[in-house]
Structure 1
Amino acid sequence: MTHETPPTATEDLTPEKPEQTEMLVITGISGAGRSTAAHTLEDAGWYVVDNIPPNLLGPLVDLVARAPQSMPKLAVIIDIRGKALFADFKEALGVLENAPVEFTILFLDASDESIIARYEAQRRPHPLQGNGRILDGIQAERNLLADLKKRADVVMDTTGFNVHELSRRISQTYSMSGPMIVNITVMSFGFKYGVPADANFVADMRFIANPHWIPELRPYTGQDEPVKNFVLNNESAGKFIDLYVDSLTPVIDGYRAENKHYATIAIGCTGGKHRSVAVTEEIARRLGELDNVTVNVQHRDLGRE
């Protein structure tokens, strides 16, 4: 007869639950930085699979689900280089949604002008342009990816980014450990040029007196001290900034809880030169003081006539 020793109070016989693989699907417009994103993640310890046919996503997910410890961070890149297979992507996403793997979709985008400049610098054709122009290929790709962009968890606009800036943004957004970083772009713009399409929040600064109508201030911008002082010393502007930053704090906490890494706050005035620029700089400064938040400032229409 054998005798089993009863477990002591310090022993835990509960089997350890295996870690779940974190999966990132990277897609987006050709030329928006997918290769840079892949290299950055690979350097950070992610296992990266480039240009995988969508119909192989299911078998790949089954593989990592069985042994999550061997591949805790997995990034897969899917794009229209395999256009004939891209029709399978919706079905593949359905497979992912029912799989025992957490996944998010990162969609990289950039302005047409920026994409064109990148292709021209590399002297390469767009994969969908055929005998047409680069712009024709970009528009065809946008049409093909429109539904996927709406479905993405993070849409990252890389317009104006160089390789190093994009690499830094990817590293900040998908850090390997520690509290999740929320990346916020605070962007000034002019209403007469249109509201930024990717803005999560839009604020209108046209309630502040316009420095444009003050001759000695007109030549300056919101980055210059005379205009900055004029705008920020406005009592209504000061109250707005205080309340707006306070209202964004629980939003950022909520984004972190919901695993949303990226948000764009658009601050507008008539031309995007004076009021919106000064307020954008101040809001960005205050948000940058919050824990686990990185802030990127963009002035979309500064310099336009």
Structure 2
Amino acid sequence: MTTSLPPPSPAARVIIVTGLSGAGKSTALKGFEDMGYEAVDNLPLSLLERLVGEAAPGVRKPLAVGIDIRTRDFDVSRLLAAVDTLRTHPDLDVDLLFLDADEHVLARRFTETRRRHPIGGDLPLTDGILLERQMLSMLRDRADAVIDTSRLPVADLRGLLEKQFGTEANPGMSVVVMSFGFRNGLPREADLVFDVRFLRNPHYIDALRPQTGQSADVGAYIAADPALAGFLDSLKTLIGPLLPRYEEEGKSYLTIAIGCTGGKHRSVYVAEQLFHWLSTLGRRPTLRHRDMPGTLTASAADVHHPAAGC
């Protein structure tokens, strides 16, 4: 008589949330709580492994833990060592999330809330921000996912967290396709950046200027550029083989950024073409137009593909 073994319990999800002060960690933890996570903020490092191991395997809720510079025994090397230790447990799925933002945005947030920077002391606010960035640079480099909240509305941040860390099963590497404008700065979280400013610019056509890369007219104008088709083919030829290799190396999150001058026309159109193509490969990418607030897209079915050229 053959006895079938029960299927193994799914690994418990643990997200360590850290980053620069003022970058939105508290907002992110509230978002995780809304997604069904148990959220714990400002946890001493000495208690991290005990907290994670308290619940029995198979019955524990997903857990989001906020640890940052305010923590009494905070130390970057100790935190990284603790994360590495947790990852040795086969029943845990551990990710390190780092929240970032531009210095001037962080300074404005502290000024508006009249809060003191936690490590500023008698230093000017900007010096405290720069000092913290320097202290946490190794932590940012080791993070599984980096989210820059500088131009990210709260609703879009929560939507992005839900796409990347939602409790529904989402096997494979999480891929984010982002459009942006170079005049507003490079996206800090980008792993791959492609410049499409060589394409004809709809901004100089009066009828197209107020529209975006999501409109049919703008899409048709960009698709008519003879340089587009070859570029898209080359982009797919480059990115296609990279995705499984990144997964083999254990990468959980990949952000592909497409940039033009203002982040409204060419980069939006090309990002949507790339998003659509990735979706045909069976991927479940997330699409985000950084410099067009409120346009976080959840699935390929939600995206309009004007004059699709791929």
- Which category of TM-score, normalised to the shorter sequence, fits these structures? 0.7 to 0.9
Matched residue SS, 2:96: strand
The RMSD of aligned alpha carbons is: 3.4
The corresponding residue for 2:60 is 71
Distance 1:132 1:196, change over 3 A: same
Question: Which stretch of the first structure deviates more once superposed, 239-248 or 111-120?
Answer: 239-248
The corresponding residue for 2:270 is 283
* Cα displacement (A) at 1:194: 6.5
**Identical residues among aligned pairs (%):** 28
Matched residue SS, 1:117: helix
* Cα displacement (A) at 1:41: 1.3
* Cα displacement (A) at 1:43: 2.0
* Cα displacement (A) at 1:196: 4.5
Contact kept? 2:196, 2:267, Cα under 8 Å? no
Contact kept? 1:255, 1:261, Cα under 8 Å? no
* Cα displacement (A) at 1:277: 4.7
Matched AA of 1:282: Y
The corresponding residue for 1:4 is none
Paired residues in the alignment total 281
The corresponding residue for 2:118 is 127
The corresponding residue for 2:228 is 237
What residue ranges of structure 1 are gaps of 5+ in the alignment?
1-6, 301-305
Matched AA of 1:42: E
* Cα displacement (A) at 1:115: 1.6
Contact kept? 1:53, 1:85, Cα under 8 Å? yes
Matched residue SS, 1:59: helix
Distance 1:123 1:208, change over 3 A: same
Q: Could you tell me how far apart the structure 1 residues matched to 2:88 and 2:169 are?
A: 28
Q: Could you tell me how far apart the structure 2 residues matched to 1:160 and 1:196 are?
A: 10
The corresponding residue for 1:303 is none
Q: Could you tell me how far apart the structure 1 residues matched to 2:238 and 2:82 are?
A: 39
The corresponding residue for 2:79 is 89
Matched residue SS, 2:64: strand
* Cα displacement (A) at 1:153: 0.5
Question: Which stretch of the first structure deviates more once superposed, 244-253 or 27-36?
Answer: 244-253
Question: Which stretch of the first structure deviates more once superposed, 291-300 or 147-156?
Answer: 291-300
Contact kept? 1:222, 1:228, Cα under 8 Å? no
The corresponding residue for 1:139 is 130
> For 2:69, which of 80, 96, 99 is the aligned residue?
80
Distance 1:230 1:32, change over 3 A: same
* Cα displacement (A) at 1:93: 3.1
Distance 1:28 1:223, change over 3 A: same
Contact kept? 2:100, 2:149, Cα under 8 Å? yes
Q: Could you tell me how far apart the structure 2 residues matched to 1:92 and 1:45 are?
A: 24
* Cα displacement (A) at 1:106: 0.6
TM-score (norm 2): 0.75
* Cα displacement (A) at 1:238: 2.8
Greater Rg by CA: 1
Q: Deviations over 1:246-268 (max 9, x none)?
A: 65456556667856234131334
The corresponding residue for 1:160 is 151
Q: Could you tell me how far apart the structure 2 residues matched to 1:148 and 1:20 are?
A: 24
Contact kept? 1:20, 1:72, Cα under 8 Å? no
* Cα displacement (A) at 1:178: 3.5
Q: Could you tell me how far apart the structure 2 residues matched to 1:160 and 1:279 are?
A: 19
Q: What are the within-5 Å matches in structure 2 for residues 193-208 of structure 1? A: 195-208=186-199
User: Is 2:175 the partner of 1:188?
Assistant: no
Matched AA of 2:180: S
The corresponding residue for 1:42 is 33
Q: What are the within-5 Å matches in structure 2 for residues 257-272 of structure 1? A: 258=250, 260-268=252-260, 272=261
User: Is 2:105 the partner of 1:114?
Assistant: yes
Matched AA of 2:83: L
Contact kept? 1:20, 1:102, Cα under 8 Å? yes
* Cα displacement (A) at 1:81: 0.7
Q: Could you tell me how far apart the structure 2 residues matched to 1:195 and 1:15 are?
A: 49
Q: Could you tell me how far apart the structure 1 residues matched to 2:198 and 2:98 are?
A: 35
Q: Deviations over 1:86-141 (max 9, x none)?
A: 35324423432434433110111111122222222322122122123322221121
What residue ranges of structure 2 are gaps of 5+ in the alignment?
293-310
